[in-house]
Amino acid sequence: MRDLSTTETSTKRPGSRSPRRPLLLALGASALLSLAGPAHAAPARDPLPADIPGYQAALDLVKSADVRDAVCRFLSTPLPAGGGAPVQTIPETAEPCQGLPAFTVKDPVAVNEITPAFAAGTVQPLATEAVKLTQLVSSLSTTVNGRNATVMLNPTQGGGWHLAAIRDGDSDARYAGRASVGTLVFTEPQIRGWYQLRLTTVEPLNDQARQGLGGRAAVSLSEYQGLVKARYADKLPGSGYDVHGYSSGYSLPREADDTTSPTPLITGGSGAALALAGGTALILRRRRRANNA
């Protein structure tokens, strides 16, 4: 590593370049980049941990004993069979992790979702307008009795993060974790589609996303905006579709039902989740898809 505490000196030789020339060239290149516009801007990328507000607090939370105990209670309760199964109560135990194989909760990763304005077609098809960081998710280091789980953190009003739910499986964390340098991963939550954005090209990461792109291997961000606008523009919050009681085609996550219980509850089906808020448990209601209207 170079020692910056000392000052290097040199004697300027005749005919050597002026130190101002490289500076002027650098400034000129910077100006050209700024004039080039979004097409030549730095590639979109998922937020790095250092870019996520309150990330250290989120990291401390997923490593905490409270979250670990909640995961153990979730994994200790068999999933109900079928979506119509009654809600089950997770029993309270003094040592919820006793008897379970050892595991750790991985570092949280960012979940980006398409924004309502992008779906409505009221903003330009740019990465900064198209998606927004809405959640952090963590999976487990190993399966526990053949199951994995996803710890879901939502932003807390005023700053920070809180445990929102624990969901069976780890697909959200696996897809969110596929972001790499120069790419951004985001989800279209209504169809559970996961996509990767490379510069201005949208590529599907799962079958739902491939169906969402009409079977194409890639589309431009502008073309993708046209697709989601056709799907959701008339189903956004405040639309007739929303007002008449259906879950909107796209919106930020809604509040859970106001059904409360002194002990955690688990709902059945593939979207089973232990939902926690403020120390009490809530039952998450499954959204009705637009095509079921």
Q: How confident is the model at residue 265 (pLDDT cuts 50, 70, 90)?
A: very low
Contact 179, 290 (CB under 8 A): no
What's the pLDDT at 233? 84
Print burial letters for 160-185: b (CB count within 10 Å at least 16), e (below 16).
ebebbbbbbebbbbbbbbebeeebbb
CB atoms within 10 A of CB 256: 17
List beta partners, residue 121.
none
- Summarised one tens digit per residue, pLDDT across range 122-154 is 999 999 999 999 999 999 999 999 999 999 999
Contact 281, 261 (CB under 8 A): yes
- Mapped onto helix, strand or coil, the DSSP state of residue 167 is strand
| Residue among 222, 187, 190 nearest 204 (CA) | 187
What's the pLDDT at 91? 64
Asked if residue 55 has pLDDT above 90, the reply is: yes
Asked if residue 237 has pLDDT above 50, the reply is: yes
CA distances from 77 to 67, 100, 143, 257, 274 (A): 16, 12, 15, 22, 10
**How far is it, in rounded angstroms, from Cα 140 to Cα 138?**
7
Contact 271, 165 (CB under 8 A): no
Query: What is the rounded average pLDDT of the residues 84-112?
Result: 83
| Residue among 271, 293, 291 nearest 283 (CA) | 271
- Summarised one tens digit per residue, pLDDT across range 30-41 is 333 333 334 445
Residue 258 is classified by DSSP as S
Token pair of 34 as six digits: 């700024």
**How far is it, in rounded angstroms, from Cα 202 to Cα 168?**
28
* Model pTM score: 0.70
| Residue among 47, 45, 73, 43 nearest 58 (CA) | 47
What's the pLDDT at 42? 62
Asked if residue 63 has pLDDT above 60, the reply is: yes
Asked if residue 206 has pLDDT above 70, the reply is: yes
CB atoms within 10 A of CB 112: 23
Residue 261's contacts (CB-CB under 8 Å, 6 or more residues apart) are: 89, 280, 281
Token pair of 104 as six digits: 């750790």
- Summarised one tens digit per residue, pLDDT across range 67-78 is 999 999 999 888
What's the pLDDT at 261? 34
Query: What is the rounded average pLDDT of the residues 204-229?
Result: 97
What's the pLDDT at 246? 44
Percent of the chain with pLDDT over 70: 61
| Residue among 143, 71, 117 nearest 225 (CA) | 117
- Mapped onto helix, strand or coil, the DSSP state of residue 53 is coil
Average pLDDT, the chain: 74
What's the pLDDT at 89? 61
Residue 96 is classified by DSSP as T
CB atoms within 10 A of CB 75: 24
Report the largest interatomic distance among the alpha carbons of the chain, rounded to a whole angstrom.
88
Query: What is the rounded average pLDDT of the residues 189-198?
Result: 96
Asked if residue 225 has pLDDT above 90, the reply is: yes
